Structure 1
Amino acid sequence: MYKVAVFSSKKYDQQFLEQFNQGGQLDLHFFESRLSRQTVELAQGFQAVCVFVNDVVDHHVLEQLHTFGVNVVALRCAGFNNLDLKAARQFNIKICRVPEYSPEAVAEHTVGILLTLSRKFHKAYWRVRENNFALDGLMGFNLHGKTIGVIGTGKIGLATIKILLGFGCQVHCYDPYPNPDLQTLGAKYVTLDDLFSQSDIISLHCPLTPDTKHIIDSEALAKMKTGVVIINTSRGGLVDSNAIIGGLKSRKIGFLGLDVYELESELFFEDLSDDIVQDDIFTRLLTFPNVFITGHQGFFTEEALITIAQTTLDNIETLLSGKDCDNLIA
């Protein structure tokens, strides 16, 4: 039986991973702590560790894992910008991920955020609960006929595009690796500058890489329409938060919807309701009436969690038994 340390684990992680640990082939140990330089000592005695989006898997952590005899790091997510692939190869630690768990889950959440902003559902909900049925201040706008720019046309981007086309939107896309199937749907590829200048709404669905870090910054905002709507359900680092605050204050940005945040690792997935949040940028964002933020829950559906658990466990068992794994990235 292989011992696996599961970091950043919540009750739902434990529930689904234990449910699909068929036959008990893996001895799962759950830690609420994030994997980091301060907590890596917890991995002693394990053959594999399982991590999530905000765990730190840098050179130092991987070196320590190698010293402890850890052979596999399994990400129960698709992105791996929090991991040093070069170091993983150096220390001969195999890295696997869940490349696709439910593109529709994130896509539907993206459009849900957009609809919430466009029709002010969140404000209407609280008004009605207080028996206030006045419509003043709740005027929205149609999605039908709007030009929506989608940056990143992988599986999640494509799922989002299909939904938006159903609303009657014109969809302009940017991706350095175009999807040949996309244009048959009715969307079209444009340059990034054209996407910025022509879009009423911009939705981010690309991975975080050195090339995409702060793809939305002050220079990008200057090219956009006044009143542009920006939605980010991908990775927080795609957006320069200081530039976004400037855009909100100048009214260049009409509405902002976020499910991710650049410094979310100190905030998201935790109950901080009795604490004082020390992140001044995040608290400033919360003061704007045209900003709607959710705490990285785009992936959080039953269907997605089932796929994440099944794929993660299969990845770990496959690699620890010395077999080839389709989801190996290093």
Structure 2
Amino acid sequence: MPRLAVAMTPQRADDVCSPETRRLLEDRFDVVWATEKDDLTSLVKGSDVLLTSWGTPHLPASLWAEGGPKVVAHAAGTVKKLIDPVIFGQGVAVFSAAGRIAWSVGEYCLGAILTLARRLPQYDHSVRDGEWKPSYLRGHELRASRVGLLGASSTARALITLLKPFGCDIVVYDPYLAPERASELGVRTATLPEALACPIISIHVPNLPETEGMVSRELIEQMPDGTIIINSARGPAVDQKALLEHAAAGRLLAAMDVYDPEPPNLTAEQLAIPSLLLTPHIAGDTAEGHLALAGYVMRDVLAWLDNGQRGPSFVDPAAWAIAA
């Protein structure tokens, strides 16, 4: 029976591993559950599969100097801070639960879009200020709206699925999105300025040097009045100062779940902007989503071990450079 080392604290294991998944693991593996005091090196040694999550320290390539597990399954998002890509050359298969987290993020984005389109934060402020049903304010429906997405990542694809019942015209800016794949997704490709000209914009780009400052002050200034912009991806992708200035002026409505830096250093005036929806980097954080993460990757690990099948959580080494 292959040996599985669970390299996370007991508290994190309770967070990302459902009782059903625990039973599956105990049935298929000789499982070693880490304690608070376990050393990572001793856990890795002699293991065939390593299950990790948030809080697992970086796995240096030296851990594979004398063998090491042939599978790393990350019950969390990005693996870029977890592993050195050199281990791919040593035949290590890596899996990530980013695809499962993407659904939680997609739901957040849909909720934020509907919240801002109906002007709910502004109505909330007006009621709290004693102003009942202001005549200058009226919300909009999402139905048949044009939506611009920056990036065709797994989170963007989740949002595309969720937008389908609304009959939205979805355009996507992503240099790596082939026209035939866009057709399969039911979207149109666009340039960056074209995507940013949409009345609703959602950002889904990875944290790369090429994406830093992508939504610049100049592009923000060109956005039509009343534009809704959602950033659940990476704070540095947007000129945060410019976005806040235009939101304060009443030109733009924004949902910000990520910031630059984090936590953000927002002033009292910025916190009081009625057209802002502010959340603390929780777009992918749901009770159901977290509890499903270990099962999501481990089902693919078993398919890989049984028949070499690459499931949706398989991390493609060829896409490392553009991965989130």
TM-score (norm 2): 0.71
| Higher deviation after alignment, 221-230 or 198-207 | 221-230
Q: Contact 2:72–2:93 at 8 Å: present in 1 too?
A: yes
Which of 240, 259, 262 is the matching residue for 1:261? Answer: 259
Counterpart AA for 1:202: I
Q: Contact 1:229–1:256 at 8 Å: present in 2 too?
A: yes
Q: Contact 2:18–2:291 at 8 Å: present in 1 too?
A: no
Q: Cα deviation per residue 1:159-187 (whole Å; 9 max; x = unaligned)?
A: 42344353343322212223525447764
Change in 2 beyond 3 A, CA 1:246/1:55: farther
Q: What residue is the counterpart of 2:132 in the other structure?
A: 134
Q: What residue is the counterpart of 2:42 in the other structure?
A: 45
Output aligned runs, 1:125-274, within 5 Å. 134-136=132-134, 139-176=138-175, 177-178=177-178, 180=180, 182-183=182-183, 187-196=187-196, 198-252=197-251, 254-264=252-262
Change in 2 beyond 3 A, CA 1:249/1:151: same
Q: Contact 2:150–2:173 at 8 Å: present in 1 too?
A: yes
Q: Write the distance in 2 (CA, Å) between the matches of 1:10 and 1:104.
A: 21
Q: Contact 1:150–1:161 at 8 Å: present in 2 too?
A: no
Q: Does 1:21 align with 2:25?
A: yes
Counterpart AA for 2:231: N
Q: Write the distance in 2 (CA, Å) between the matches of 1:87 and 1:75.
A: 17
Change in 2 beyond 3 A, CA 1:67/1:261: farther
Q: Does 1:5 align with 2:3?
A: no
Change in 2 beyond 3 A, CA 1:117/1:66: same
Q: What residue is the counterpart of 2:118 in the other structure?
A: 119
Q: Write the distance in 1 (CA, Å) between the matches of 2:270 and 2:35.
A: 33
Counterpart AA for 2:278: I
Which of 275, 278, 284 is the matching residue for 1:299? Answer: 284
Counterpart AA for 1:280: N
Change in 2 beyond 3 A, CA 1:325/1:207: farther
Give how far 1:230 is off. Answer: 1.0
Counterpart AA for 1:293: L
Q: Write the distance in 1 (CA, Å) between the matches of 2:269 and 2:67.
A: 44
Give how far 1:99 is off. Answer: 5.3
3-state secondary structure, aligned to 1:95: strand
Q: Write the distance in 1 (CA, Å) between the matches of 2:185 and 2:18.
A: 39
Output aligned runs, 1:91-102, within 5 Å. 95-98=94-97, 100-101=99-100
Structure 1 gap ranges (5+): 32-38, 268-278
Q: What residue is the counterpart of 1:274 in the other structure?
A: none
Structure 2 gap ranges (5+): 45-49, 318-324
Indicate the percent of aligned positions where both proteins have the same amino acid.
21
Q: Write the distance in 1 (CA, Å) between the matches of 2:267 and 2:75.
A: 26
Give how far 1:78 is off. Answer: 4.6
Change in 2 beyond 3 A, CA 1:20/1:205: farther
Q: Contact 1:105–1:298 at 8 Å: present in 2 too?
A: yes
Q: Cα deviation per residue 1:272-292 (whole Å; 9 max; x = unaligned)?
A: xxxxxxx42498754432221
RMSD of aligned alpha carbons: 4.2
TM-score (norm 1): 0.70
Give how far 1:151 is off. Answer: 1.6
Q: Write the distance in 2 (CA, Å) between the matches of 1:283 and 1:44.
A: 47
Change in 2 beyond 3 A, CA 1:187/1:228: same
Aligned length: 301
Q: Write the distance in 1 (CA, Å) between the matches of 2:195 and 2:14.
A: 41
Q: Write the distance in 2 (CA, Å) between the matches of 1:249 and 1:121.
A: 16
Q: Cα deviation per residue 1:105-149 (whole Å; 9 max; x = unaligned)?
A: 432221101111222445667988x8x793238632333454321
Output aligned runs, 1:281-292, within 5 Å. 281=266, 286-292=271-277
| Higher deviation after alignment, 62-71 or 93-102 | 62-71
Q: Write the distance in 2 (CA, Å) between the matches of 1:287 and 1:69.
A: 56
Counterpart AA for 1:215: M
3-state secondary structure, aligned to 1:225: coil
Give how far 1:221 is off. Answer: 1.7
Which of 295, 298, 301 is the matching residue for 1:313? Answer: 298
